[in-house]
A = this chain, B = another copy of it.
């Protein structure tokens, strides 16, 4: 995939080469590959990390996973740390500062030059999961009276620090965002052309308080590679680039996968996480759900006498519960994912439930018919076949209604819909479907003399 030095080879090169040799080879070394090599290395990495120039160290920390950033950073002395942060992009620096010893933060920020320090302080005020929390402040503004040549000369002077030059922004005297021009448009036009006709005055931007998931939806909808961030007065504050959002989208999906499987979210690769940490993330929900499942025991005990006389009824409890759980989980998953992607909102509640009820009738009838003939064929007991199959239809309708309702209710209550997934739905549907099953059994078996 690349001609770069990677893995063990890269590690060996860094360990055995002089600073001069490393500097000469720097073009063949990507910070992301150094990170990969560090991941597999158990010794003290400082001897070879210190051979690298500060910009590369800054890049390594920028590209590290959220939870590894501070760990690598803390390997260095305070003076080295100050040098490293002076090379970091504002958005990355804020991510780092949020994860290190708070006592050190003030000291570090004060070492920056006044403007950068203010920038960082401003950025730290935003919630880290909003547009303001992930934006960078290094963007480039141009004036609408410039020519292509003037713009290029301006970039030669002021372009280097920018997070990206793909888009240049036009602001008025108050800093209000008035237009955007793409660098591509600039460079395909003649040096003497004015840039004014290339400027698009209706800029699509996001407000600083917008949730990062919605920023990703906006940038994805329009197919942008970056998007400007503004305050309530439309003053430009920063930019967010599509590659940063790739991380956001992946992280948000992972969090949803975990919540939907009743696992507490935490950063960190599976293989790097300890056994106790993994166990801790799972025990709470399992305990909660186990205790909730007590209701099913209580229900079964209430019908103990019925069960004692028709033990065969027990045989279908697992099938009913599994099918109910699966049917509910299908609905909950589609609704949770639809809400995460912005396709379904709270206002769609009635449309969703109406749709799920209709779907569940179709699905329920098909499954019940198959089930009816299967039980009839094997057990030659038409009442049993009827009891189980009717219970199955009710179970599926209940499961899909509960599965569609709970995620939307959660969103309404400002709880993450993802926790209303399979495990919670299953626990609720189990209890409901057992009641339906036993009630039906009592009614249908009664003429045959089942003790109530």
CB within 8 Å for A318 and B300 given contacts A4-B204, A282-B327: yes
Q: Contact mask A347-365 → B, CB, 8 Å, 1/0?
A: 0100110010011001100
Contact A318 B334 (CB under 8 A): no
Contact B271 A344 (CB under 8 A): yes
How many Å from the CB of A9 to the closest CB on chain B? 13
Q: Mark A207-247, 1 if CB is under 8 A from B, else 0.
A: 10010000010111111110000000000000001110111
The answer to whether the Cβ of A371 comes within 8 Å of any Cβ in the partner chain is yes
The reply to whether the CB of A278 lies closer than 8 angstroms to some CB of chain B is yes
A323, closest chain B residue (CB): B290
Q: Collect the chain B residues with CB atoms within 8 Å of residue A221's CB.
A: 32, 36, 63
Q: Is A304 an interface residue (CB 8 A)?
A: yes
- Chain B min CB distance to A91 (Å): 12
Q: How far is the CB of A233 from chain B (nearest CB, A)?
A: 14
Chain B residues, CB < 8 A from A241: 225
**Whole-angstrom CA separation of A253 from B338 in the bound complex:** 12
1/0 contact trace for A306-340 toward B, CB 8 Å?
01100110111111011101110110111111100
Beta-carbon contact of B319 and A290 below 8 Å = yes
Residues of chain B within 8 A of A27, CB atoms compared? 200-202
CB distance from A92 to the nearest CB of B (A): 10
Size class of the contact patch on chain A: 35 or more
Per-residue CB contact flags for chain A residues 246-265 toward chain B (1 = under 8 Å, else 0) read 11011001101110111100
Closest B residue to A268 by beta carbon equals: B343
| Contacts A250-B220, A300-B318, A363-B282 given; does A2 touch B203 at CB 8 Å | yes
Within A12-65, the residues touching B (CB, 8 Å) are 27-28, 30, 32, 36, 62-63
Inter-chain CA distance A416–B188, complex, in Å, is 45
The residues of B that contact A2 with a CB separation of less than 8 Å are 202-205
Query: Interface 1/0s, chain A 152-185, versus B by CB < 8 A?
Result: 1001100110101110000000000000000110
Q: Does A413 contact B (CB under 8 A)?
A: no
| Shortest Cβ distance from A261 into B: residue | B333
* B359 with A278: CB separation less than 8 A: yes
A8 within 8 A of B: no
- B-side contacts of A191, CB under 8 Å: 152
Within 8 A of B (CB), among A93-110: none
Within the assembled complex, what's the spacing in Å between the Cα atoms of A245 and B244?
A: 12
Contact A311 to B308, CB < 8 A, known contacts A189-B156, A334-B270 = yes
A371-B290 in contact (CB<8A): yes
Integer count of this chain's copies in the complex: 2
B330 and A434 within 8 A (CB):
no
Residues on B with beta carbons closer than 8 Å to the beta carbon of A363:
279, 282-283, 286
Distance (Å) between the CB of A186 and the closest chain B CB?
Answer: 8
Flag A277-294 by CB within 8 Å of B: 1 or 0 each.
011001101110111011
Which of B218, B263, B308, B338 is A270 in contact with, Cβ under 8 Å? B338
* A370 lies within 8 A of B335 (CB): no
Given A263-B334, A333-B261, are A1 and B207 neighbors across the interface (CB < 8 Å)? yes
Residues of A within 8 A of B (CB): 1-4, 27-28, 30, 32, 36, 62-63, 152, 155-156, 159-160, 162, 164-166, 183-184, 187-191, 200-207, 210, 216, 218-225, 241-243, 245-247, 249-250, 253-254, 256-258, 260-263, 269-271, 275-276, 278-279, 282-283, 285-287, 289-291, 293-294, 296-298, 300-301, 304, 307-308, 311-312, 314-319, 321-323, 325-327, 329-330, 332-338, 341, 343-344, 348, 351-352, 355, 358-359, 362-363, 366-367, 370-371, 374, 422-423, 426-427, 430, 434
Some 20 contacts from A to B, beta carbons below 8 A apart, are A4-B204, A155-B188, A156-B189, A183-B183, A246-B249, A253-B253, A257-B333, A270-B344, A279-B362, A282-B363, A283-B366, A290-B367, A293-B323, A297-B315, A297-B316, A301-B312, A304-B312, A318-B434, A321-B322, A326-B423
